[in-house]
Copies of this chain bind each other. A is one copy, B any other.
Amino acid sequence: MIIVHSLAASKELKKSTVINLNGVKIGGKEIVVMAGPCAVESKKQIVETAKAVKNAGAKVLRGGVFKPRTSPYSFQGLGKKGLEYLKKAKEETGLPVVTEVTDSKTVKLVSKYCDILQIGSRNMQNFSLLKEVSRINKPVLLKRGMSATLNELLNSAEYILSGGNHRVILCERGIRTFETYTKNTLDLNVVPAAKELTHLPIIVDPSHGTGRSSLVSSMSKAAIAAGADGLIIEVHPKPKHALSDGQQALTLEQFSALMQNLKKTAKSVGRTI
């Protein structure tokens, strides 16, 4: 039996938290889909993608500008210039924007440009960063670490909540297992488990979770059936030319078709999309 010391995140305190982002409600009846490229690569790329995912039904635009990469010699993201491009895409579409923040020093900068700040899986236990985002007035998308337990994820959320920021969205993005066919193993058990332990909304990232675009559709449906409050999906105009993680990105057409399909799954569990 697990003991959750996470008082502020605990289900005992509150039934559910709905995060309202200019009308986009995360944690309510509607399933919220966030979509966009792994990395912002150019103004054209992000604006084109933003328009397409909006047309398909996405409610939030995703795009990385500070990329945590295993090797220092891999593409590290466009940095501040990428933030400008995200802002442009937001202006053109009205979509709120989520991007990853990787350093306590850049939290303020990123929060000027973006609507949701993402803490990536490698930083789930970067407690300095968690404390920093606990002091800003923006929702935080907190991704589960690659080998973290649910209890550890909730304790990391507690760092943000106890610091004064109550708008935390949990995100399952795949854990490390021995399987080699998939890059990670998307763990959907954590969705109903989180619903038993916490009032915070939880969304699912089937793109990183599987690492294979061909599995994204099935696992998106499964995530909704399991009770997820939303999805975050990688979409790229030309996945084969993506500067990072192209093998897991959907094309604009694939994403549009997926969104149509997900309506049926949402309906089967009494929700909309």
Contacts and interface: CB of A to CB of B under 8 A. Distances in A.
Interface of A: 2, 5-6, 68-73, 102-105, 122-123, 125-129, 146-152, 155, 158-159, 162-163, 175-182, 185-193, 195-197, 209-210, 214-215, 218-219, 221-227, 264-265, 267-269
Most buried by B among A125, A127, A151, A189: A189
Contacts of A181: 2, 149-151, 193, 197
A209 B103 CA distance: 28
A182 B178 contact: no
14 contacts: A5-B73, A69-B127, A105-B128, A126-B126, A149-B180, A150-B181, A175-B178, A179-B187, A181-B197, A185-B187, A186-B189, A188-B188, A192-B214, A218-B225
Nearest to A210: B189
Contacts of A122: 125-127
Contacts of A163: 72
Contact of A147 (B146, B191, B219): B146
Contacts of A187: 177, 179, 185, 187
Nearest to A134: B72
A25 B74 CA distance: 33
A189 B219 contact: yes
A5 B148 CA distance: 27
A149 B155 CA distance: 25
A221 B159 CA distance: 33
Contacts of A225: 218, 221-222, 224-226, 265, 268
Contacts of A102: 126-128
Contacts of A70: 125, 152, 155
B177 A177 contact: yes
Contacts of A147: 146-147, 176, 178
A192 B180 contact: no
Given A103-B104, A147-B147, A222-B226, A189 B182 contact: yes
A62 B55 CA distance: 48
Contacts of A224: 225
Contact of A71 (B103, B155, B179): B155
Given A71-B158, A221-B226, A185 B189 contact: yes
A69 B151 CA distance: 13
A153 to B, nearest CB: 10
A157 to B, nearest CB: 10
B72 A162 contact: yes
A112 to B, nearest CB: 18
